[in-house]
Structure 1
Amino acid sequence: MNLDDIPLFPLSTVLFPGSYITLRIFEPRYVDLVRHCTRTGSGFGISLILEGREAGEPALPAAVGTLGMIEDFFTLSDGLLGIRVRGSRRFKAKSTRIRDNGLIHAQVRWWAEEARIPVPPEYSLLCIVLERLLEQVGGDHAKAERSAFDDASWVSFRLAQLLPVEDTERQRWLELTDPIARLDELLHCIPRFQSA
């Protein structure tokens, strides 16, 4: 199977397929990245930082990440460029290299999109929790069709993005390829957020 070469944007957060993130762009390597992606209509990989920081020296990214597609541009209050990015498909990096400007590129293998599987009845609590969270945070997903709440992948990805957990736990959920297994792990962590 052929590998594709994509630029990476390591972050201190995890992006799931179908989720959105806003990024503040100020380093020259990422300004160039945004310019390239805009010109070519391509995306870039977003991977959790395992070692290092978002700014400065290139960080060590997790192997599994999500392709980000730029959906909007705006000027932030500090005058810097802001972009809205939507998570697309997941990938696993097989190798990485650092270009002269500090931008990391990865040779990646794409993961197949998860099949649409109905949410089993024993996980219906998660749909209720997700609805309540979306009522509070609003956004595009709060306007989703009712049918979305019966898609195990959609529900599990949305909850994994919204629950207040450590990014290492989010990364584990991103790396699961079975949406039911992801729902199971999410269900087991819900008691942590219930008041006594």
Structure 2
Amino acid sequence: MTNLDSTTRKIPLFPLGTVLFPDGVIALKIFEARYLDMIKTCLREKTEFGVVSIMKDQDSKEDSPLVFSQIGTLALIEDFDPIQPALYMTKSSGTQRFKLLHSQQEANGLWIGEIELLANDPVTPIPEEHQKVVKLLNEIISVIQSEDLLEESPFKKPFKTDDCGWVSNRLAELLPISLAQKNHLLAQTNPRIRLDLVTEIIEDDGLSNLMLH
């Protein structure tokens, strides 16, 4: 990553049709030359890349310019398996959110973003009214553990089920909601309010039986 000043920097971007939350896990199959080079650089320099959502309007034309979410998450590569010279299987974890100030595409097709890092969630205890969704999340984790799915799990240890930020992020990842809604949750700086919003979605949509999808 290239430092611009104390709060902004330039990083390679990996635009996706999904949202990565801090402490979340994302598995990527890398085969395009621009991303193979990016992954090699990140591994060599022990640096992160940025995951941003591609926000496409349903009415947009195929040749219209890409529009990225304004909030993204830094991703640090944790597992790397070069299956073939031009095919890597990677697993990365979300570290810190950022605001995307500007982006431009290089000649090789790689997007570079100028970003401003956002503060990490403060540790915030779970209020009593949200214990029901914590129980729901614990049940999902139990299913993953009982079926020995941790290798494929969207979660990584430690499981911070007593913290508003961690619980809201994990549930936001699991919820079958739109990219716009997920990015709205990611952008919420107050973890207690983010958990309020997640709980509201679950209760309003009758998702109390939410499971991995």
**Unaligned regions of 5+ residues in structure 2, if any?**
1-5, 58-63
1:29 and 2:41 matched: no
1:8 and 2:20 matched: no
Report matched runs for 1:156-175 at 5 Å. 156-175=168-187
Which digits, 9 at most, give the CA deviation of each residue in 1:167-196, with x for residues without a partner?
Answer: 22111110100111111111111132247x
Distance 1:142 1:94, change over 3 A: closer
Distance 2:45 2:122 in 1: 29
Structure 1 position 135, deviation (Å): 2.1
Distance 2:101 2:156 in 1: 36
- Aligned partner of 1:187 in structure 2 is 199
- Aligned partner of 1:150 in structure 2 is 162
Structure 1 position 80, deviation (Å): 2.6
Give the length in aligned residue pairs.
Answer: 189
Distance 1:85 1:168 in 2: 22
- Aligned partner of 1:43 in structure 2 is 48
**Unaligned regions of 5+ residues in structure 1, if any?**
none
Which digits, 9 at most, give the CA deviation of each residue in 1:38-70, with x for residues without a partner?
Answer: 111001000010139xxxx98432121000000
Distance 2:136 2:39 in 1: 35
Asked if the contact 2:7–2:117 (Cα under 8 Å) also holds between the matched residues in 1, the reply is no
Distance 1:86 1:30 in 2: 17
In structure 2, which of residues 16, 20, 23 is the aligned counterpart of residue 18 of structure 1? 23
- SS in structure 1 of the partner of residue 113 of structure 2: strand
Distance 1:109 1:74, change over 3 A: same
In structure 1, which of residues 64, 80, 91 is the aligned counterpart of residue 71 of structure 2? 64
Which digits, 9 at most, give the CA deviation of each residue in 1:5-58, with x for residues without a partner?
Answer: 001000000000001010010111100100110111001000010139xxxx98
- Aligned partner of 1:82 in structure 2 is 89
1:106 and 2:88 matched: no
Asked if the contact 1:10–1:59 (Cα under 8 Å) also holds between the matched residues in 2, the reply is no
Report matched runs for 1:124-135 at 5 Å. 124-135=131-142
- State the identity %: 34
Asked if the contact 1:67–1:89 (Cα under 8 Å) also holds between the matched residues in 2, the reply is yes
Distance 2:82 2:103 in 1: 31
Which TM-score applies when normalising by structure 1? 0.88
Structure 1 position 142, deviation (Å): 7.4
After TM superposition, the runs of 4+ consecutive aligned structure 1 residues lying more than 4 A away are none
